[in-house]
């Protein structure tokens, strides 16, 4: 019969050694017992950390990084305003080191230089406000580091009403009315997962936990949807999606609506999960977003988090490839991160 496996504690509780002849030895340091007590306390604290405590520690670490990046961008903009410039070069606003490395040289390409010139002209010389505020243009990247990305939700362009855009797709700051698309996302999560509908539309907690909330176009004129489309942003954000596809694995891409689903051409389906449904907007949510479940597969995933089968034995997704938000939640919970519920907690 195999001997029972030893725990970490067992290694610190060795049997007393046999008695040996008395021999002279140097006096013990008065601090040795303190060191031993400290080591014991350290080992106990390490052993006693629960998964929830570990998750909370990781969340707080990511939150601190996000706040640090936001402050860097805010300080850059404040300095530019104070000196009378009023504009910060786009490249200076991408302060998250992991993305700066992955996208090294992208903003130096000819298309990106034209894009930067266009955005600068719009902000400095245009008669219409541009959203989001400059320090939030790269908020999605600065909040969700490249090596932390677990899921990607692709939007089209920022909300174009005053105070709405915050650089995260589908998200609005606290105190701003929750848009219909986000209301429908909340409703589906409540129906499918039992999530409580939050009191606000701020999705920063998703972003901090690894959900990249990426719009294909990162700026817009006030009250003019798609006004900054086809100016270069699409090529830049395609490079972001391509980098995730090439250099990461096991990322969940949620593609809602035809515009987002067109991005599937950039994603290696042998390495990643691609989940499709209609867009959650009020115009299309009833045409496939609501109730887009896949019950048999969920029963399988709920019982067994299939580490390999999700790649090697994918079920057919149906005519339009519809599959529920729930799969993304289950996959991410397999990484000990309850991603999409409890925004108010």
The residues assigned a catalytic role are: 157
Residue 7 to residue 4: CA distance in whole angstroms: 9
Residue 113 buriedness (CB in 10 A; 0-12 / 13-18 / 19+): middle
| Nearest 10 degrees: Cα torsion 330, 331, 336, 341 | -50
DSSP 222-277: TTBTTTTTTSSHHHHHHHHHHHHHHH--SPEEEEESHHHHGGGGGS-TTTSEEEEE
Distance between alpha carbon 177 and the CA centroid of its chain, in Å? Answer: 23
What the block records as the tokens of 25 is 């030895």
Residue 255 to residue 94: CA distance in whole angstroms: 25
Q: Are 176 and 185 in contact (CB under 8 A)?
A: no
What the block records as the tokens of 326 is 């729930």
Task: Give CA separation, 163 vs 104, 141, 218, in Å.
Answer: 31, 20, 15
Residue 277 to residue 255: CA distance in whole angstroms: 7
DSSP 121-168: HHHHH-SS-EES-GGGTTHHHHHS-GGG--EEEEESS---STTT--SS
Of the CA atoms within 13 Å of residue 41, those in its CB half-sphere come to 6
Distance between alpha carbon 274 and the CA centroid of its chain, in Å? Answer: 16
Q: Give the H or E element holding residue 79.
A: helix 51-82
């Amino acid at each position: 019969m195999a001997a029972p496996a030893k725990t970490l504690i067992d290694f610190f509780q060795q049997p007393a050694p046999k008695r040996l002849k008395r021999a002279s030895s140097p006096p013990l340091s008065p601090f040795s017992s303190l060191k031993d007590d400290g080591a014991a306390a350290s080992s106990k604290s390490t052993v006693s950390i629960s998964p929830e405590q570990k998750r909370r520690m990781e969340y707080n670490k990511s939150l601190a990084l996000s706040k640090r990046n936001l402050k860097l961008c805010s300080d850059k903009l404040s300095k530019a305003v104070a000196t009378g410039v009023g504009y910060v070069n786009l490249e200076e606003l991408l302060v998250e080191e992991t993305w700066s490395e992955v996208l090294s040289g992208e903003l130096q390409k000819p298309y990106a230089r034209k894009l930067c010139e266009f955005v600068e002209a719009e902000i400095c010389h245009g008669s219409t406000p541009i959203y989001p505020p400059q320090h939030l243009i790269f908020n999605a990247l600065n909040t969700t580091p490249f090596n932390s990305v677990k899921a990607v939700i692709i939007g089209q362009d920022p909300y174009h009403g005053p105070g709405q855009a915050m650089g995260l797709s589908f998200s609005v700051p606290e105190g701003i009315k929750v848009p219909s698309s986000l209301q429908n996302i909340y409703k589906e999560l409540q129906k499918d997962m039992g999530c409580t509908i939050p009191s606000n539309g701020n999705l920063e907690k998703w972003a901090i936990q690894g959900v990249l909330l990426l719009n294909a176009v990162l700026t817009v004129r006030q009250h003019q949807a798609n006004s900054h489309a086809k100016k270069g942003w699409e090529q830049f954000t395609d490079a972001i999606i391509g980098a995730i596809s090439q250099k990461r694995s096991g990322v969940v891409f949620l593609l809602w609506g035809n515009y987002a689903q067109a991005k599937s051409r950039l994603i290696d389906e042998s390495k990643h999960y691609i989940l499709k449904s209609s867009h959650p907007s009020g115009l299309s949510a009833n045409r496939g977003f609501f109730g887009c479940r896949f019950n048999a597969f969920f029963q399988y995933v709920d019982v067994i988090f299939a580490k390999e089968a999700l790649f090697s034995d994918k079920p057919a997704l149906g005519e339009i490839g519809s599959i529920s938000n729930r799969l993304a939640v289950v996959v991410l919970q397999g990484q000990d991160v309850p991603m999409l519920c409890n925004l108010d907690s």
